[in-house]
Amino acid sequence: MNRIVAKFAQLKSAGKKAFVVYIGAGDPNLEATRQLALAFDKSGVDVLELGVPFSDPLADGLVNQLAAQRGLESGTTPPKLLATIAAIRKDAQVPIVLYIYFNLIHKVGMEKFIADCALVGVDGLLVLDLPPEESDNYEVLMKKSGLCHIYLVAPTTPEDRMELIVKRGAGFIYYISREGVTGMQTSVATNLASQIAKIRAHTNLPIAVGFGISNPAQAKTVAAEGDGCVVGSAIVNQIAEHGKSPDLVAKVGAFVKSLADAVKTI
């Protein structure tokens, strides 16, 4: 069974919520990404999203744009990242999702890229700029390789389109709790419960909520409403702050554990 599917099933049977973490791959370098992934696995992270560095990350706010830039500057390419994931798989089985823009897949060739991902132990792809209406061939290849094709739903998504999206997704639905780009926020969206209820009316897939979650209290609040929460920019910000420190992994790992512990107390 796909690791993402297995993890959400295990959490559901235990009455627990999922803690999903996003970081920019190769920030500050790929060896740090490998070490962070292993630390996160021990800290209670249920799914790890790795942002593949791209020169024009339109869905990302400033914090994650800068992480992508640092990833590019460290020489991170899709093949090097896949080699790093293969290295992670020697020590950890945490489900891994690549957060990626379609141009990078297109350059390699969709069939080859998906097969290469499956080979090294990637569990799912979240392609930011590939709408479901244009995903027929992609979905076929993903299913064939045993990977989950994860789709986004936004607060502005009309309900008829939301139904189309969630019925085509796999693994989990990523609900963007705020309009705009990624980034830290001081409060949680007030319409979270009603929006999640709308999505649940059309799918049995788990719903992970992201965009703007910055601290343990917010993570706990969001996870209580959905099936899990996604924290990205707040962690990426910690990596930016401690990127040149020899204590990078310990410091970021401690912050991530504080978030994981909050989610697990629900």
Catalytic (active site) residue 241: no
| Contact call for residues 223 and 196 (beta carbons, < 8 A) | no
Q: Of the residues 27, 46, 49, 227, which is catalytic? A: 49
Rg over CA atoms, the chain: 17
Q: Of the residues 60, 123, 225, 227, which is catalytic? A: 60
Distances (CA, A) of 185 to 144, 188, 254, 266: 39, 7, 21, 22
- Reported as type and span, the H/E element at residue 118 is helix 110-120
Catalytic (active site) residue 60: yes
Helix, strand, coil in percent for the chain, rounding step 5: 50, 15, 35
Distances (CA, A) of 210 to 59, 83, 241: 13, 28, 22
Amino acid code (one letter) for 11: L
Which residues are part of the catalytic machinery?
49, 60
